[in-house]
Each structure stands twice: as C-alpha cells, then as structure tokens.
C-alpha cells in the first residue's frame, strides 16, 4: 500500500466512529448552556453596563472649538481638506489607493459625491435668508478669479493660526485683506453654533434622511473627533477601532486587522488600507481553506495537543 493510499484509508476510517458510545441529552445540554449564558450576560450587564459616549455634532464642535471649525471650513473652501482631496467615492480630486495595477477605488467611481465648496460652505450660507450683505459677499467670492480666491483663503488661514476666541464663542483675527471671507466665515460659524449647519448638511431631495456621510466627513476633517478619540485611546496608533470607549472590550476580534497598521510597510504607506485589506483577504481565504493547505493542516499532528484533548480516550484505549 502506498503512502497516499494509506493516508486515504486512514481518512476514510475517520468518517464514522465504530467505537463506544455513551448516553447524551442534546436538548438538555443546549438548554442548560443557554441558561448559563443568559445568566452570565445579565451578571456582566449588572456589573459593568455598557459605554455610551454622546455623539459630537457640528453645533457642539463649533462651540467647543470655534477656531478649529473655521479653520476646517476654510480648508473645505480652498480645497485642501482631507475630504476635498479624497478622491473616489466622494470626488475626483484624488487618485485613491491601489494595489499594483488594480485601482478598485477609482474603478468603482464617485458614488457619494461631495463638493466641499458647495456642500459644506456655499450652499449652507445661501440657505440663510434676510442677510443681503452676506449673499453679496458670497457672490463676490464666487465671481472672483481662482487666484484671488486662493489669496484670500491663504491670508485668512494664516491669520487663523493666531486667532483667539472672542465673546460669544466668536473668532477674533487680526485685520487683513480677506475679501468677503470674514463675513462668510462669521455667518457660517453662527449657523453652525445654532445647529443650522447640522440640518443643512442632512438636507436631501426627500423628507426622510439616514445618510450622515456629509456631516461626519466635515467633522472628521476637523480636530474634535480625533482629540476625543485620542482621549479614548481610539487613534490608529493606539490600535484604533478594535478598542472601545472607556475601559470596555471592543472589537477585539479585529486585532489582526489593526495589527498591520502598527508595522512597516503598512504604517508608512500611502496605500496602507488597500495593502492591509489585501493581506486580510488572503489570510481569510487561507483560514477557510486550511483543510486543503499542506503543512498548515498537518500542524495539529506535529504539535500533539490532541493528546491532551483526547487524553481520556487514549488512556482508556491504551
């Protein structure tokens, strides 16, 4: 008998157990297990409850850190924010990530279009009625040349570096040639602090709305979410989203996914996400196909933990 035939014969013998059996109550075991787990979860709930950190809003952000909000708004206007330069699926302003010649992010296209100038600044300001000076300022900005717009936003951004928070959570900056930006940003800040920008960013063609892409993208461009995340040890450098707010266990099962972001080349690559996803896809496929992978499938034979698992069986059989 060849080695292969012996292997097949052995595997064939594993199909059906022809040794001894003992009584077993499947339904009783399942019922007891369910009762134990239900009791355990209730005990854990009573002892530890669960975290529920209130969400940030554009309103709370603009009140907590008005300078950061205005700085972010200017970056949306001059196209330098993360969202403005992101690329697909939000716009065409960035190439997106790719793996060799495979550009899935680009190929799938812009499915959730975001024009940061219009969606985050101009349209919300246009929705403010009864302020002809503001509307005139917006028109003035829009009719200016790109070079002039860039000069205004650059000057305003530089001034924001030394801005202070004034009365009523306003932003005070030194005098300068900012064109119509000062009244525009002042009005946008007021709109945000009143909660109006939260609503404006959810406005769509229909009454019902569940898509929070725009307000979340705007807030993610700012610093509030990141500062809260840092305090809650949720940053990518802190093993990110596998953690939970507070001291609760989070998505611990994502540890391997998060692990790759901590080491090179992933931690320094501009294509880190697609590289990590590719690695995890390969590992996931390998995990599913372990029974077919030479070497990997044989490790349980080489490291005989099975002798511990079936020690009673072997002791009895021996």
Applying the rule CB under 8 A, the residues between 19 and 48 that interact with other proteins are 19-27, 29-30, 33-34, 36-38, 40-42, 44-45, 48
Distance between CA atoms of residues 159 and 171, nearest Å: 11
Question: Is position 52 an interface residue for other proteins (rule: CB under 8 A)?
Answer: yes
**What is the smallest separation between the CB atom of 242 and other proteins, expressed in angstroms?**
10
Applying the rule CB under 8 A, the residues between 166 and 195 that interact with other proteins are none
Residue of 144, 155, 220, 279 that binds other proteins (CB under 8 A): 220
Q: Which two tokens stand for residue 294?
A: 């030479």
**What is the smallest separation between the CB atom of 154 and other proteins, expressed in angstroms?**
27
Are 67 and 160 in contact by the 8 Å Cβ rule? The answer is yes
Question: Is position 53 an interface residue for other proteins (rule: CB under 8 A)?
Answer: yes
Distance between CA atoms of residues 145 and 164, nearest Å: 30
Question: Is position 263 an interface residue for other proteins (rule: CB under 8 A)?
Answer: no
Question: Is position 162 an interface residue for other proteins (rule: CB under 8 A)?
Answer: no
Q: Residues 226-235, buried b or exposed e (16+ Cβ, 10 A)?
A: eebbeebbbe
Taking Cα atoms as reference points, which of 188, 56, 62 lies closest to residue 119?
Answer: 188
Whole-angstrom Cα Rg for the chain: 29
Question: Is position 202 an interface residue for other proteins (rule: CB under 8 A)?
Answer: no
Compute how many other C-beta atoms are within 10 angstroms of the C-beta atom of residue 191.
21
Interface region with other proteins, contact rule CB under 8 A, candidates 72-80, 146-154, 182-190, 236-244: 236-244
Distance between CA atoms of residues 234 and 247, nearest Å: 11
Residue of 134, 171, 184, 234 that binds other proteins (CB under 8 A): 234
Residue of 1, 100, 146, 175 that binds other proteins (CB under 8 A): 1
Residue of 139, 142, 212, 259 that binds other proteins (CB under 8 A): 212
């Amino acid at each position: 008998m060849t080695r292969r035939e012996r292997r097949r014969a052995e595997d064939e013998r594993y199909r059906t157990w022809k040794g001894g059996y003992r009584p077993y109550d499947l339904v009783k075991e399942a019922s007891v297990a369910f009762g134990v787990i239900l009791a355990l979860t209730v005990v854990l709930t009573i002892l530890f409850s669960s975290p529920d950190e209130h969400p940030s809003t554009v309103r709370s952000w603009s009140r907590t850190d008005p300078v950061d909000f205005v700085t972010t708004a200017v970056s949306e206007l001059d196209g330098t924010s993360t969202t403005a330069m992101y690329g697909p699926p939000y716009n065409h302003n960035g190439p997106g990530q790719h793996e060799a010649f495979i550009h899935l992010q680009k190929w799938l296209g812009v499915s959730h279009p975001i024009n940061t100038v219009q969606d985050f600044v101009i349209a919300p300001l246009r929705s403010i009625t009864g302020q002809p000076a503001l509307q005139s300022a917006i028109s003035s900005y829009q009719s200016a040349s790109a070079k002039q717009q860039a000069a205004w936003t650059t000057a305003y951004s530089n001034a924001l570096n030394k801005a202070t928070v004034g009365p009523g959570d306003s932003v005070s900056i030194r005098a300068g040639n900012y064109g119509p930006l000062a009244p525009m940003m002042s009005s946008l800040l007021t709109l945000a602090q009143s909660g109006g920008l939260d609503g404006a960013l959810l406005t769509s063609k229909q009454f019902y709305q569940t898509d929070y892409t725009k307000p979340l993208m705007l807030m993610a461009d700012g610093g509030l979410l990141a500062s809260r995340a840092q305090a809650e040890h949720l940053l990518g450098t802190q093993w990110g989203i596998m953690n939970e707010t507070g001291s609760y266990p989070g998505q611990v099962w994502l540890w391997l996914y998060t692990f790759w972001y901590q080491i090179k080349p992933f931690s320094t690559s501009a294509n880190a996400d697609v590289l990590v996803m590719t690695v995890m896809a390969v590992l996931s496929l390998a995990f599913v196909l372990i029974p077919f992978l030479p070497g990997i499938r044989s490790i349980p034979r080489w490291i005989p933990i099975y002798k511990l698992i079936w020690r009673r069986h072997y002791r009895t059989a021996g």
